[in-house]
Structure 1
């Protein structure tokens, strides 16, 4: 897509978009969906259709997306789009565990110790997109104790 945009090749743009959209129609493609969505957010053209289809896939296959290996590799902007969804129907505790895995992965990629303080730091403002009020007391107490969810950002 970047080459198609750079060299103004509309046929290549159409081919790339068709490929991505067809790739999203199969079952069990959570990792590929997240990869396509991450990539689409870097494109200058064609982003709307791909991101819209990816977000629809996330809505339909929410549990699989949250548990996929690729979830931990998401860019913060992609994670934000997912967490902002009103149509994201999964138990909030499952979302928290996925976000916790994401914070550990970000710390690791950034050569930071995945301490609670660092995990909370990399989570930043995304913390406020987690719907803690929807969780039961039991779900809240079952969150990983070292997650950094409860550590205030300074």
Structure 2
């Protein structure tokens, strides 16, 4: 955790009074690229006390200069504003997914696990059809880098982590959010695959999604998604929209992830048969199999392994969501309570001390009678 999480009782009061204050400011941050550059006043002692990265950054500067001016070009102004709010002990309120993503990036680079957790919690709570792919792509990229700081440059500064740092926990939280993203994508695949944002995925991200056995959607939608993706990818890199270029940017691993033999004849004719991804021999073999027409496999790209895979149905996901936010924990607790209550209602009554007393009284009455 950041040292600011264990500050002395007087520090939050002092630092909160200094946030967004020019009084006593001895460092200025210019954040972002022109013309969208934000200016932030800062206080060396507050930032050095609150964060190891700022401590290393400020210690390497010229202490004799009355004021530092530090440009930071890899963050946007809103994310840096929330980063400073967190370090100055101000309340941090996140209100949009783009802000959560950019703030997570800032918190990761400046080694602020507490702020990272706030972002992860918000993203987990607001996951929906319109942003699931964006969150998945971003967290997938970051989940393997949660223990790395690149601001300041580690070659220029020696950053000493707090011995109580919980960055490993943040890495686990990031991977848990990634798990939840994939579960959401699997469970809402028909709605997800038609989203425009699928065209913005990196190739390896697209491959991870379409290869999943739990991506529960019609194969015609899977094919349409990869077809749109490779068309946009060719345009993005100024390539001619030829069958050769389309297939080259897509790759056979993604192309052969579609379960073609689960399509009906109409879906195959309107999709792969009229598209530019499969070759004519490949289309001929697959259509013949769909029509149950005996034909020799005349293409070396369609192997017996491919044919077997293309016949396997995708299945609905059976794994569970990992509760990251309080909402998720509360829901899990309420589910357990309801289950216990239901079991108590249907289970036979147990004998209590009152039952035993009543039984003894009745026995004595019978004895004396």
Output the TM-score relative to the length of structure 1. 0.86
Give the alignment's Cα RMSD to 1 decimal.
1.9
More strand by share: 2
Q: Determine if contact 1:118/1:148 at 8 Å carries over to the other structure.
A: no
Q: Determine if contact 2:193/2:222 at 8 Å carries over to the other structure.
A: yes
Could you tell me how far apart the structure 2 residues matched to 1:128 and 1:146 are? 14
Task: Tell me the alpha carbon deviations over residues 17-42 of structure 1, each in whole angstroms, 9 at most, x when there is no partner.
Answer: 11211111xxxx32311001111111
SS of 2:214 mapped into structure 1: coil
Q: Determine if contact 1:82/1:88 at 8 Å carries over to the other structure.
A: yes
1:115 lines up with 2:242 in the alignment: yes
Q: Determine if contact 1:31/1:69 at 8 Å carries over to the other structure.
A: no
Aligned pair partner of 2:203 in 76, 89, 106: 76
Name structure 1 gaps, 5 residues minimum: none
Name structure 2 gaps, 5 residues minimum: 1-103, 147-170, 283-300, 302-369
SS of 2:141 mapped into structure 1: coil
Deviation at residue 95 of structure 1 after TM alignment: 0.8
Stretches of 4+ aligned residues off by more than 4 angstroms:
none
Output the TM-score relative to the length of structure 2. 0.38
Q: Give matches, 1:2-13, under 5 Å.
A: 2-13=105-116
1:128 lines up with 2:256 in the alignment: yes
Q: What residue in structure 2 maps to residue 142 of structure 1? A: 270
Name which one, 1 or 2, has greater alpha-carbon Rg: 2
Q: What residue in structure 2 maps to residue 48 of structure 1? A: 175
Could you tell me how far apart the structure 1 residues matched to 2:205 and 2:262 are? 23
Q: What residue in structure 2 maps to residue 18 of structure 1? A: 121
Q: Determine if contact 1:72/1:101 at 8 Å carries over to the other structure.
A: yes
Deviation at residue 87 of structure 1 after TM alignment: 1.2
Q: Which moved more, 1:43-52 or 1:77-86?
A: 43-52
Q: Which moved more, 1:139-148 or 1:67-76?
A: 139-148
